[in-house]
Amino acid sequence: DVQMTQSPSSLSASIGDRVTITCRASQGIRNDLGWYQQKPGKAPKRLIYGASSLQSGVPSRFSGSGSGTEFTLTISSLQPEDFATYYCLQHNSYPTLTFGGGTKVEIK
Amino acid sequence: QVQLVESGGGVVQPGRSLRLSCAASGFTFSGYGIHWVRQAPGKGLEWVTIIWYDGSQKYYTDSVKGRFTISRDNSKNMVYLQMNSLRAEDTAMYYCVREDLRHLDQWGQGTLVSVSS
């Protein structure tokens, strides 16, 4: 089974900060990874697919990179509406899927 | 627009059964695989099961194998999750999610299942 290790589990940041979240896969997963944002009481929303492709309608301050075992989600300039929990999801082992543990982004 | 609406959640005693439903609209339902993903209170997301676009293949996470059954009715644009022998650890919000080329792209709002005596 592919395990996804996401770090950090939480972080505090200020408006305008650059934020980086990392997911590491237990084995190579090519670019079979997506990033999701979840706000309290809401369903997750897809931000990135194919490791680096921006979902339509998602602000360009979000970007994804990586391939193989290490992946990064970057928010270039944190905005108030970006405070949320972020998850990575691998589908290399399709049809079974694995989420990372999540990263909660909080206001400093 | 694409909509997935879950229903059927509630409070149930351990060992009992519950059936969740997911009503889909706004897209060609019979062309897409559908997943269920759950989230225990205050915890992360966990993939549960998938059914292929035509219902021909179904896969489950190990913890629900033999207890949960996914099915679909393409004539009604519906997906179902039959949950038997429920345990306290099955308590979670259950999301119905559309798959697009192996990516999870559209999520329902979820239905809450609470297993408690």
Per-residue pLDDT tens for B71-89? Answer: 999 999 999 999 999 999 9
What is the SS3 assignment for B2? coil
Whether chain B has a CB inside 8 Å of the CB on A96: the answer is: yes
CB contact under 8 A, B105 and A49: yes
B56 touching A, CB under 8 A? no
Report CB contact under 8 Å: B46, A99: yes
Distances (CA, A) of A41 to A38, B93, B109: 8, 10, 9
Token duo for residue B8: 């059927």
A72 touches A64 (CB < 8 A): yes
Q: B104 and A97: CB-CB below 8 Å?
A: yes
Q: How far apart are the first and last CA of chain B?
A: 40
Q: Which two tokens stand for residue A16?
A: 């305008």
Q: DSSP label at B77?
A: T
- Residue B24 pLDDT class (50, 70, 90 cuts): very high
Does the pLDDT at position B13 exceed 90? yes
Nearest residue of chain B to residue A90 (CA atoms): B103
Is residue A52 within 8 Å of A31, Cβ to Cβ? Answer: yes
Please give, rounded to a whole number of angstroms, the shortest distance from the CA of A49 to a CA of chain B: 7
pLDDT in tens, A48-81: 999 999 999 999 999 999 999 999 999 999 999 9
Question: For position B41, what pLDDT does the model report?
Answer: 97
> Would you say residue A93 has pLDDT above 90?
yes
Count chain A–chain B contacts defined by CB atoms under 8 A: 52
Place of tokens 């099961």: B49
CA distance A3 to A98: 7
d(CA B10, CA A21): 35
Residue B101 pLDDT level (bands cut at 50, 70, 90): confident
Residue pair B49/B35 in contact by the 8 Å Cβ criterion: yes
Distance separating alpha carbons of residues B50 and B96, to the nearest angstrom: 10
Q: How far apart are CA A103 and CA B104, in angstroms?
A: 19
Average pLDDT value for chain B: 97
Name the token pair of B1: 């627009």
- Residue B39's nearest CA partner among B115, B106, B113 is B113
CA–CA min distance B87, chain A (Å) = 22
Q: What whole-number distance in Å separates Cα of residue B7 and Cα of residue B9?
A: 6
